[in-house]
Amino acid sequence: MKLKKEDYILERTADGGYYAYLSYNMQCGAYGDIAEEAVDNLEDQMDDYVSDMFLVEEFI
């Protein structure tokens, strides 16, 4: 899932890395050494989340 810039917030961490999280759900976040890596990791997490939701829907 490709995120738009307004979908996430990107912050610099104390250790020099970056933390990206969804603007509407702070609990869904990802870390990266560079900004692009943090956003890519967040996109991967979102893909996993959507896949998991389909599994739950099939179970119900």
pLDDT tens track for 5-47: 999 999 999 999 999 999 987 778 999 999 999 999 999 998 8
Please state the pTM of the whole predicted model.
Answer: 0.79
Q: How far apart are the first and last CA of the chain?
A: 24
Per-residue pLDDT, 55: 67
Specify the higher pLDDT residue, 29 or 55. 29
DSSP characters over 1-60: -PPPGGGEEEEE-TTS-EEEEETTEEEEEEEESSHHHHHHHHHHHHHHHHHHHHHHHHH-
